[in-house]
C-alpha cells in the first residue's frame, strides 16, 4: 500500500516527468502512473498533490485528471481493482474540506470529479454532500461561494441525468428541499446584476453574472427533472414568469454593453440558458406551459418581427425564439383537448383561444412576409461562404440541424406556420411569386435575393401548394427560361430554380416533362457553371432518376453526357463529403439504367482507381466507392471481368481482417465480392486466390457471416473442381468450427452451403464432410433441434441416400463402430424419427426429396429398412398427394421441370443461371416421384419375388395401399 507521506515525493516526481514535452521522458512516466492506478493509497497521494496550491499548476492539473479517470474506473464496488470502502470514505471527506481552489480550470475539474462520485454515492453513501455544498454557498468569501456553486451545478447536472425510477424519485426529493433556496439565490444575484448594470459597474457585473448563470443552471435542471408537476409549485411557476421579464432586461443590458465583449458574452450566455429553460419547459410540461403561451408568442414575435426587437437579437436567441413559436403552433396538448383530463382541459382550451386570437390574418401575413423578406434572404455572410467555400455552402443541414442553425430553423418555422395556416398564407405566397418572377435585372441584387427567397418558400411548401400551382405550366413558361440567364449574379436564381424543380418532381410534374428536366440539368453540370449550382443540379438529377415514375428509355439519350459531366464534377470537388455526394448520384444512375451503363464504364474504370488511392485516409469515401462498384458490376454483368485489375485488389483490401480499415469497409466489400462472383462467367486465378481472405472471415463470425456463406456457395458453383481442389479443406474446417456458435438461422445457412457441395459433387462431397455428418446424425437422433434445422438435416441425408447410397451405409458402419451400437439399430431409429417428424419438413421440394430418398431405400436388403417399409409408404403417399395434380385423367408431378432452354433473361446474373442449371439436374425437378415409386416397387417385386412382395404390401395400411395404387396406375 502506498503511504501518503512517503509516496507523495515519488508520485510528484513522476507527475513532473509526465508533464514534460519530451516524449522520451513522458512515456516512461505515463507507464509508471498506469502501474500505480490499482495500488491502494495512490489516489490519496494524488489528492494531497492537487490540494497543495504551492505545487506547479500543470502538475496539479495532471494529478486531478488522473484522479478523475481513476474514479471512472475504480470507484464502483464491483469494478476490477475497486478502491476499498475506507479509501473512498477518506477521499470523500477530503474532497469537501475546502472550496478555495484558486485556479479556475482545476476548480472545474474538481467540481466534475465530485459530481462523478456523487452520481454513484449520493445520497446513500454520501448524505452530507448537499448540505455541505449549500452551507458553503452561504460563505461570505466570494471564491469559496463560487466554487461551491460550481460544484453544486455539476452535482445537480449529474444527478438529474440518472433515469431509473428510484434515482428520479431521489432527485425529486433533493429538489423539493433545495428549490426555494436556489430560486431565492438566483433572484438575489440577478437583481444585484441589474443594479450594477445601472451603475455601469463592470467589475461587479462580471462577478454577479457568474453567480447568476450558475444558479440559473442549477435551477433549470431542478425545474425540468426534479418537479413532476410544476403548476403545483408556486416558485416553479414564478421562475417561468420571471424568465420573460428578465430576458427583456438582459437584452437591454447586452445592447448597452455591446462594446464590452466580456460582459456581452456573459450576458448572452445567461440569455441562452434562460431560452433553453423555456424550450425544455415547453417540451417537458406542455399542458402546464399552456398558461404562458401568450407571453411566449408576444416575446418571440416582438424579438423576431419588429425593428426594435431585431436590434437585440443574436443568432442563438433567434433560433430559440423561432423554436418557441414553432412549438406553440405544433403543440398537440391544446389541440387534442378531448384526450385530456377535465382539470387540464380549461388550460388547453384557453391556450387554443390565445393562439388562435394571436395569429390573426394580418399577423400571419406580416410574419410570413418578414420571414421571406428578411430571414430567408441570403446574407452577405452566406454569399461570401458561397464564393470562398462553395462545397461548405451546400453541405447537408438535414436532421436535427434546425435546432441549432438559423437557416434550417427559419425554414422549419415557415413550414410549420404554412401547414397550420395554409388558407391564410397561400394567397400571400402566390402573390409574392407573381411579384418576383418577372424580376430579370441581374444587377439589382436586392430583387434577385428576394426572388431566391420566394422560390425557396415555394419549394419547401410544394405539398401544401399542390392544388394551387400548375407546375407543368410554370416550369415550361418561366422556370426553364430562368436557367438560361448566365449572368454571374443570376447564379443564385439558377441554383434555386434547379433545386425548386427537384422539390416538385415527385409532387406535381408530369412524367412527359422528365426529359425536359434532364435537358435542363445537364448544362448546369458543365465546368463553366458555378460550383454550387453544379452540385445542386447533381442532387436534382438524383431526385429525378430516383422518382417513382422514372423511365429508363427516356433517360438513355442523356446518359452519356450526364455520366461524363458528373465525372468532371467528381474530379473537380475536393471535399470528401462532396465526392461522396456525387458518387451517390452516380450510383443511383448506374442502378437505374442497369446494363445501359456498359458503354460508359471505361470512364469509371479510369477514375475510380485514382479516387481510391486519394481516399486512403477517408474510409467513408471508400465505402461510397464500394457502393458505386456494386452497382457498376451489376450493370456490367459478365463484362465486369474487365474491371478485375482494379476490382480484385480493392476486394482483397476491403475484406482483409488484418487491415485496420476493414471495420469500415467489410460490409460493403463483402456485398461487392458477392456481386463480383455472381456476375463472373468463369473462375480466374486472381478471383480464386481472393478466397484466401475467406477463412479468417468465417473464423471472425461477424454479423456478415450470412453474406460470407453466400459467397462460398457462389464459389462452389463457379469454380467447381478447380475451387474444391484448392479450398476443400478450408471450407470443411470453416463449416465445422462455426456450427457450435450459431443459432438456427445460421445453422440452416451452413447446411444449405453443404447441400450445394453435395449437389455439385454427389460422390466427393459427402466424403469431405463425413465427420460433420456423424455429428448431424447424432443431433437428428437426439431430436432436440427446431423443425427448420431438422428439415435441413434430413435433406442432407436424403441427397446422400439418393446419389451415394453405398457411402450412406458405410457412414452408418463407421458410426456404429464409434458409438458401439448395431448399424441396424441406428438406421431403424433414423427411419422412425424421419417418418415421425415428416411434418417438420414444410417445403414441397424438401418433402419430395425425402420421399425420393425413402423410396430409393425400398430395394435395399437391409433388415431395418424392410421392417419400416409400411411407415415409409405412408410418408411417400403423403408427398404424392402434395406434389401430384390430375391432368387428362393422369397424375403429373408438378415439381418436374425437365430440361428447358435458358430463357436468357437480361436481369439474371451468371450465378442465377448456374443455380437454375443445377436445379434442372436435381432429382426433385428431374425425376417424377410417382414414376420413381412405381419403378422401385416393380424392382422390389423382381428382386424379392411376388410372394414376398405381396407379403410386404399386406403390411401396408389398406387405405395407403389403395391410394398408392391409384397414383402409380394413372
- Please give the DSSP secondary-structure letter assigned to residue 82: P
SS3 107: helix
Answer yes or no: is pLDDT of 68 > 60.
yes
How many percent of the chain have pLDDT more than 90?
Answer: 64
In terms of average pLDDT, the best of 198-202, 450-454, 593-597 is: 450-454
Q: Please give the grid coordinates belonging to residue 771.
A: 465427420
What are the DSSP calls for 833-899, one per residue?
A: HHHHTGGG--SHHHHHHHHHHHHHGGG---HHHHHHHHHHHHHHHHHHHHHEEEETTEEEETT----
pLDDT tens-digit map of 713-764: 999 999 999 999 999 999 999 888 888 778 888 899 999 999 999 999 998 9
**Helical H runs in 573-598?**
576-593
Structural contact between residues 859 and 936, judged by C-beta atoms closer than 8 angstroms = yes
d(CA 970, CA 968): 6
Peptide bond into 123 cis (omega under 30): yes
Q: Indicate the pairing of strand 884-887 with strand 890-893.
A: antiparallel
Q: Which residue has the cell 457553371?
A: 529
Q: Can you tell me the mean pLDDT for 663-671?
A: 94
Distance CA 113, CA 101 (A): 14
Q: Rounded to whole angstroms, what are the CA distances from 671 to 121, 589, 595, 629, 711?
A: 49, 19, 19, 10, 9
As to burial, measured by CB atoms within 10 angstroms (0-12 exposed, 13-18 middle, 19+ buried), residue 647 is buried
Q: Has residue 627 got a pLDDT over 90?
A: yes
Whole-number Å distance between alpha carbons of 50 and 59: 8
Give the per-residue pLDDT at 81.
86
Q: What are phi and psi of 893, to 5 degrees?
A: -80, 110
Banded model confidence at residue 438, pLDDT cuts 50, 70, 90: confident
Which residue has cell 436424403? Answer: 798
Q: Which residue has the cell 458528373?
A: 566
Tell me the CB-side half-sphere exposure of residue 2, using CA atoms within 13 A. Answer: 23
| 562-593: pLDDT as tens digits | 999 998 999 899 898 999 999 999 999 999 99
- Containing 381, the helix (H) or strand (E) segment is helix 380-388
| Average pLDDT value for residue range 248-267 | 91
Residue 622 and residue 665: Cα distance in Å, rounded?
7
Which of 4, 103, 21 has the alpha carbon at shortest distance from 54?
Answer: 103
Distance of CA 404 to the CA centre of its chain: 21
CA distances from 837 to 794, 854, 875 (A): 10, 14, 10
Closest CA to 223 of 170, 164, 275, 183: 183
**In this predicted model, what pLDDT tens digit does every residue of 908-952 receive, in sequence order?**
788 999 998 898 889 999 999 999 999 998 998 888 888 888 888
Measured CA to CA, the distance from residue 355 to residue 339 in angstroms comes to 19
Maximum mean pLDDT: which of 237-251, 600-614, 933-947: 237-251
What are 130-154's pLDDT values in tens digits?
999 999 999 889 999 999 999 999 9
C-alpha cell at 855: 423410396
What is the phi/psi pair of residue 599, to 5°? -65, -15
Q: Is 80 exceeded by the pLDDT of residue 530?
A: yes
CA distances, 159 to each of 33, 127, 129 (Å): 30, 14, 12
- b (16+ CB within 10 A) / e for 406-438: ebbbbbbbbbbbbebbeebbbebbeebbeebbe
Distance CA 681, CA 906 (A): 14
pLDDT: which is higher, 189 or 342: 189
Q: Which long-range contacts (CB under 8 A, 24 or more apart) does 266-270 make?
A: 266/206, 266/209, 266/210, 266/213, 267/209, 268/314, 268/316, 268/317, 269/213, 270/209, 270/212, 270/213, 270/216
Q: Note the pLDDT of residue 843.
A: 92
**pLDDT class for 901, splitting at 50, 70, 90?**
low
What are the DSSP calls for 481-524, one per residue? HHTT---GGGHHHHHHHHHHHHHHHHHH--GGGHHHHHHHHHHH
Q: Can you count the helices (H) and strands (E) in the chain?
A: 50, 2
Which ranges of 96-164 does DSSP label H, i.e. alpha helix? Answer: 104-121, 129-137, 142-160
Sign of CA dihedral 213, 214, 219, 224: positive
User: Is residue 328 within 8 Å of 293, Cβ to Cβ?
Assistant: yes
pLDDT in tens, 392-407: 998 766 678 888 899 9
Single out the residue of 486, 433, 477, 492 nearest to residue 459, CA to CA: 433
DSSP β-bridge partners for residue 227: none
Q: What pLDDT, on a 0 to 100 scale, did the predictor assign at position 276?
A: 95
Q: Pick the residue with more confidence: 12 or 219?
A: 219
Question: Do residues 324 and 300 touch, judged by C-beta distance below 8 A?
Answer: yes
- Contact between 187 and 238 under an 8 Å Cβ cutoff? The reply is no
Mean pLDDT of 518-540: 95
CA 125 to chain centre: 40
What does the alpha-carbon distance between residue 863 and residue 867 come to, in Å, rounded to a whole number? Answer: 6
Q: Helix or strand or coil: residue 37?
A: coil
Q: What gap in Å lies between CA 333 and CA 287, rounded to an integer?
A: 6
Question: Three-state SS string across 803-830, please?
Answer: HCHHHHHHHHHHHHHHHCCCHHHHHHHH
Asked if the model's pLDDT at residue 801 lies above 70, the reply is yes
Judged by phi (left if over 0) then psi (alpha if -120 to 50, else beta), residue 927 lies in beta
Is residue 644 over pLDDT 50? yes
- Give the up-direction half-sphere exposure of residue 547: CA atoms within 13 A in the CB hemisphere: 29
Coil/strand/helix, residue 98: coil
What is the pLDDT at residue 333?
A: 43
Residue 266 scores a pLDDT above 60: yes
Residue of 593, 343, 588, 371 whose CA lies nearest to 460: 371
Average model confidence (pLDDT) across the chain: 90
Contact 654, 648 (CB under 8 A): no
Provide the greatest CA pair distance for the chain.
124
Mean pLDDT of 243-263: 92
- For 876, counting Cβ atoms within 10 Å of its Cβ (0-12 exposed, 13-18 middle, 19+ buried), the class is buried
pLDDT recorded at residue 338: 46
Residues 6+ apart with CB under 8 A from 752: 709, 713, 792
Q: What is the pTM of this model?
A: 0.83
pLDDT at 389 exceeding the cut of 90: yes
Does residue 768 have a pLDDT over 50?
Answer: yes
Average pLDDT of the segment spanning 364-369: 95
Q: What is the pLDDT of residue 902?
A: 52
Beta carbons of 43 and 37 less than 8 angstroms apart: no
Q: Which residues contact 953 (CB under 8 A, 6 or more apart)?
A: 961
CA torsion sign for 589, 590, 592, 597 is positive
Residue 339 exposed, middle or buried by CB count within 10 Å (0-12, 13-18, 19+) = exposed
Q: Are 929 and 884 in contact (CB under 8 A)?
A: yes
Answer positive or negative: Cα dihedral of 191, 194, 195, 196.
positive
- Residue length, the chain? 970
Amino acid at each position: 500500500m502506498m503511504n501518503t507521506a512517503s509516496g507523495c515525493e515519488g508520485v510528484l516526481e513522476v507527475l513532473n516527468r509526465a508533464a514534460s514535452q519530451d516524449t522520451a521522458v513522458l512515456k516512461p512516466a505515463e507507464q509508471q502512473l498506469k502501474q500505480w492506478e490499482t495500488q491502494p493509497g495512490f489516489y490519496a497521494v494524488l489528492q494531497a498533490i492537487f490540494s497543495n496550491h504551492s505545487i506547479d499548476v500543470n502538475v496539479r492539473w495532471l494529478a486531478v485528471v488522473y484522479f478523475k479517470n481513476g474514479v471512472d474506473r475504480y470507484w464502483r464496488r464491483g469494478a476490477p481493482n475497486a478502491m476499498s470502502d475506507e479509501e473512498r470514505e477518506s477521499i470523500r471527506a477530503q474532497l469537501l474540506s475546502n472550496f478555495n481552489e484558486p485556479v479556475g480550470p482545476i476548480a472545474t475539474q474538481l467540481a466534475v470529479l465530485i459530481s462523478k462520485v456523487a452520481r454513484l454515492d449520493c445520497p446513500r453513501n454520501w448524505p452530507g454532500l448537499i448540505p455541505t455544498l449549500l452551507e458553503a454557498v452561504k460563505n461570505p468569501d466570494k471564491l469559496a461561494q463560487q466554487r461551491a456553486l460550481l460544484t453544486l451545478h455539476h452535482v445537480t447536472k449529474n444527478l438529474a441525468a440518472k433515469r431509473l425510477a428510484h434515482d428520479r424519485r431521489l432527485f425529486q426529493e433533493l429538489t423539493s428541499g433545495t428549490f426555494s433556496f436556489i430560486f431565492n439565490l438566483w433572484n438575489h444575484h440577478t437583481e444585484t446584476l441589474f443594479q450594477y448594470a445601472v451603475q455601469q459597474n463592470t467589475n461587479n457585473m462580471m462577478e454577479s453574472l457568474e453567480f447568476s448563470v450558475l444558479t440559473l443552471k442549477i435551477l433549470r435542471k431542478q425545474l425540468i427533472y426534479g418537479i413532476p408537476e410544476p403548476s403545483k409549485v408556486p416558485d416553479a411557476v414564478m421562475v417561468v414568469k420571471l424568465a420573460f421579464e428578465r430576458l427583456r432586461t438582459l437584452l437591454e443590458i447586452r445592447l448597452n454593453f455591446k462594446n464590452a465583449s466580456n460582459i456581452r458574452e456573459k450576458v448572452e450566455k445567461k440569455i441562452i440558458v434562460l431560452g433553453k429553460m423555456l424550450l425544455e419547459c415547453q417540451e417537458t410540461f406542455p399542458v402546464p406551459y399552456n398558461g404562458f403561451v401568450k407571453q411566449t408568442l408576444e416575446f418571440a414575435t416582438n424579438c423576431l418581427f419588429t425593428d426594435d426587437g431585431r436590434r437585440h437579437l443574436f443568432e442563438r436567441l433567434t433560433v430559440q425564439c423561432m423554436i418557441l413559436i414553432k412549438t406553440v403552433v405544433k403543440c398537440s396538448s391544446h389541440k387534442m383537448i378531448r384526450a385530456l383530463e377535465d382539470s387540464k382541459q380549461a388550460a388547453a382550451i384557453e391556450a387554443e383561444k390565445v393562439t388562435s386570437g394571436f395569429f390573426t390574418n394580418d399577423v400571419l401575413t406580416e410574419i410570413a412576409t418578414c420571414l421571406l423578406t428578411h430571414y430567408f434572404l441570403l446574407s452577405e455572410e452566406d454569399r461570401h461562404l458561397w464564393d470562398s467555400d462553395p462545397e461548405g455552402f451546400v453541405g447537408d443541414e438535414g436532421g436535427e440541424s434546425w435546432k441549432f442553425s438559423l437557416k434550417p430553423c427559419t425554414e422549419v418555422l415557415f413550414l410549420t406556420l404554412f401547414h397550420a395556416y395554409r388558407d391564410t398564407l397561400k394567397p400571400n405566397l402566390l402573390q409574392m411569386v407573381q411579384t418576383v418572377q418577372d424580376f430579370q435585372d441581374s444587377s439589382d441584387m436586392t430583387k434577385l435575393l428576394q426572388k431566391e427567397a420566394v422560390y425557396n418558400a415555394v419549394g419547401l411548401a410544394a405539398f401544401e401548394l399542390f392544388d394551387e400551382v400548375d407546375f407543368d405550366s410554370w416550369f415550361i413558361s418561366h422556370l426553364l427560361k430562368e436557367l438560361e440567364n448566365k449572368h454571374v449574379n443570376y447564379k443564385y436564381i439558377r441554383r434555386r430554380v434547379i433545386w425548386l424543380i427537384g422539390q416538385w418532381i415527385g409532387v406535381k410534374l408530369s412524367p412527359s416533362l422528365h426529359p425536359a428536366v434532364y435537358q435542363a440539368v445537364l448544362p448546369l453540370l458543365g465546368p463553366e457553371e458555378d460550383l454550387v449550382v453544379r452540385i445542386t443540379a447533381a442532387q436534382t438529377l438524383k431526385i429525378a432518376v430516383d422518382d417513382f415514375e422514372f423511365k429508363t428509355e427516356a433517360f438513355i439519350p442523356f446518359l452519356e453526357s450526364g455520366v461524363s459531366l458528373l465525372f468532371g464534377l467528381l474530379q473537380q470537388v475536393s471535399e470528401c463529403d462532396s465526392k461522396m455526394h456525387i458518387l451517390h448520384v452516380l450510383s443511383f444512375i448506374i442502378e437505374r439504367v442497369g446494363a445501359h451503363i456498359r458503354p460508359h464504364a471505361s470512364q469509371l474504370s479510369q477514375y475510380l482507381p485514382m479516387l481510391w488511392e486519394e481516399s486512403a485516409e477517408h474510409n467513408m469515401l471508400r465505402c461510397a466507392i464500394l457502393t458505386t462498384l456494386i452497382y457498376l458490376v451489376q450493370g456490367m454483368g459478365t463484362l465486369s471481368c474487365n474491371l478485375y485489375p482494379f476490382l480484385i485488389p480493392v476486394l482483397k483490401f476491403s475484406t482483409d481482417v488484418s487491415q485496420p480499415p476493414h471495420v469500415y469497409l467489410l460490409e460493403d466489400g463483402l456485398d461487392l465480392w458477392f456481386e463480383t462472383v455472381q456476375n463472373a462467367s468463369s473462375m480466374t486465378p486472381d478471383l480464386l486466390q481472393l478466397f484466401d481472405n475467406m477463412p479468417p472471415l468465417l473464423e471472425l463470425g461477424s454479423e456478415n457471416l450470412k453474406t460470407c456463406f453466400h459467397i462460398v456457395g457462389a464459389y462452389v458453383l463457379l469454380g467447381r473442381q478447380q475451387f474444391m481442389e484448392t479450398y476443400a479443406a478450408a471450407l470443411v474446417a470453416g463449416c465445422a468450427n462455426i456450427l457450435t456458435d450459431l443459432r438456427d438461422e445460421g445453422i440452416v445457412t451452413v447446411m444449405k452451403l453443404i447441400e450445394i457441395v453435395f449437389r455439385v459433387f454427389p460422390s466427393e462431397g459427402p466424403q469431405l464432410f463425413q465427420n460433420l455428418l456423424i455429428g448431424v446424425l447424432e443431433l437428428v437422433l437426439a431430436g432436440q433441434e427446431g423443425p427448420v434445422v431438422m428439415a435441413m438435416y434430413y435433406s442432407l441425408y436424403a441427397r446422400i441416400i439418393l446419389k451415394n447410397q453405398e457411402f450412406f451405409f458405410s457412414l452408418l458402419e463407421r458410426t456404429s463402430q464409434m458409438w458401439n451400437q448395431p448399424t441396424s439399430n441406428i438406421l431403424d431409429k433414423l427411419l422412425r424419427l424421419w417418418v415421425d417428424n415428416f411434418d417438420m419438413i414444410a417445403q414441397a421440394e424438401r418433402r419430395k426429396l425425402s420421399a425420393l430418398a425413402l423410396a430409393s431405400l425400398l430395394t435395399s436388403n437391409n433388415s431395418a429398412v424392410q421392417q419400416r417399409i409400411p411407415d415409409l409408404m405412408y410418408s411417400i403417399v403423403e408427398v404424392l398427394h402434395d406434389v401430384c395434380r390430375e391432368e387428362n385423367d393422369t397424375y403429373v408431378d408438378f415439381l418436374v421441370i425437365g430440361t428447358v432452354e435458358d430463357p436468357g433473361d437480361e436481369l439474371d446474373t451468371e450465378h442465377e443461371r448456374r443455380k437454375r442449371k443445377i436445379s434442372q439436374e436435381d432429382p426433385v425437378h428431374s425425376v417424377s416421384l410417382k414414376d420413381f415409386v412405381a419403378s422401385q416397387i416393380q424392382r422390389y417385386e423382381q428382386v424379392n419375388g411376388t410372394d414376398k412382395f405381396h407379403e410386404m404390401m399386406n403390411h401396408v395400411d389398406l387405405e395407403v395401399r389403395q391410394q398408392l395404387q391409384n397414383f402409380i396406375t394413372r
